[in-house]
Structure 1
Amino acid sequence: MVLGLWGGLTILAGVMEAFFATCVFAYIRRMERRQSHPLGDVVGAHKAVLAKIRKREPLTRDEFDYATELVNDARSPLALAIPGALFSIGFFYVVGCLFMLSLDGGHPSFRTFIGGIPMLTSMNIAAQLRRVARMRKPLKTIPVIDSDTTESDTTDSETTDEIAVAGRV
């Protein structure tokens, strides 16, 4: 049986999906095994800390550690496996439909190209990951405020509450 262009691309997309799915599994497993940062449990902390980095505002030691963790997670090559898996599943759907249509002699319809939606979504996810990964350089130059040099006794819960409020704004 001759597969032709669409059949070969369908097989390639299936192999790539299996590869990316394996990488995603390894990446998520690695993240589940490590000790999570306490700010990771606060709603809006991710957004608030990254906004502080973009504005080049000083960070507390906890915020700095959390931001470093976020940037390192985004810089991991395995992080790009998530959008890669999403892209390859959409690609698999599109070329698989085209392959089946080539066998039947049909013409592509709108349904054939629905796989483009996860493909576009995956490109957005990859761009967001790269945007966070590029914060590595600004993160090195941002001043870190130690808890000893703050004005009064601010506790970690007050800092966490401030981040939560900033994340909701």
Structure 2
Amino acid sequence: MTLGPWGDLTILAAVMEMVFATCVFVYISRLERRPSHPMGDTVGAHKAVLAKLRKRQPMSQDEVNYAAELIADARSPLAYAIPAALFTMGFFYVVGCLFMLHLDGGNPSFRTFVGGIPMFTSMNMAAQLRRVAALKGKLRDVSVTEAEPAGELSPAGA
């Protein structure tokens, strides 16, 4: 018995989901084993540091180190497994519904395409990772100031 194109795509999506889920597990395990940066415990620090970097404002050495860590995390190929896994889940849902409709001879409904929501969300996540990864060039040109006193990191919107 042949499954047809929708059945083949459903199986491919399931296999790819397992691959991406394994990559996500490896990536998160590496992040958890790594010692955390002291600024990582401050609420909103990553947003503020990346905003300072985007605006090319002077940064302390601690902020530069934290920004370098954030950029390195975003540049990791395993980081893109997170949006890939989310995309594949939505794709699996859509092609699985189409496969079942193909077997039953029905017509697609709105419910069939609900899987598009995580697919669009994953594209946004990948774009955000790409934007952070692109800050590597700005990190080389940042001017380093003396260390700021703890707790005086300005909010990102300020």
Superimposed CA distance per residue, residues 6-39 of structure 1 (whole angstroms, 9 cap, x where no aligned partner): 0000001001100000000000000000001010
Task: Give the C-alpha shift of residue 168 in structure 1.
Answer: 6.7
1:40 counterpart SS class = helix
Q: Percent identity?
A: 66
TM-score of the superposed pair, with normalisation by structure 1: 0.90
Distance in 2, matches of 1:144 and 1:12, equals 49
For residues 141 and 82 of structure 2, the distance between their equivalents in structure 1, rounded to whole angstroms, comes to 30
Q: Could you tell me which residue of structure 2 aligns to residue 166 of structure 1?
A: 155
Return the offset for 1:145.
1.4
What is aligned with 1:87?
87
| Residues 13 and 92, structure 1, Cα contact 8 Å, conserved in 2 | yes
Q: Deviations over 1:115-136 (max 9, x none)?
A: 0000000000000000000000
Q: Paired residue for 1:151?
A: none
Alignment partner, residue 135 of structure 2: 135
Shift of 1:162: 2.0
Q: Report the alpha carbon displacement of residue 102 of structure 1 after superposing the two structures with TM.
A: 0.3
Unaligned runs of 5+ in 1: 148-153
Give the gaps of 5 or more residues in structure 2: none
SS in 2 for 1:162: coil
Following superposition of structure 1 onto structure 2, how do residues 1-169 of structure 1 map, counting pairs within 5 Å? 1-147=1-147, 155=149, 157=150, 161-163=151-153, 165-167=154-156, 169=158
| Cα offset, 1:113, TM superposition | 0.2
CA contact under 8 A between 2:50 and 2:67: conserved in structure 1? Answer: yes
Aligned to 2:152, the other structure's residue is in SS state helix
Taking the aligned partners of 2:19 and 2:61, their CA distance within structure 1 comes to 38
- Structure 1 runs (4+) deviating above 2 angstroms are none
Cα distance in 2 for partners of 1:14, 1:103 equals 19
TM-score, normalised on structure 2? 0.97
CA RMSD in angstroms comes to: 1.1
Distance 1:35 1:117 in 2: 35
Higher relative helix content: 1
> What is the one-letter code of the residue matched to 1:166?
P
> How many residues are aligned here?
158
Q: Structure 2: which amino acid aligns with 1:91?
A: F
Query: Residues of 1 paired with 2:32 and 2:111: CA distance?
Result: 37
For 1:69 and 1:103, the matched residues in 2 are separated by 50
- Higher Cα radius of gyration: 1
| Closer/same/farther in 2, CA of residues 168 and 162 from structure 1, 3 Å limit | farther
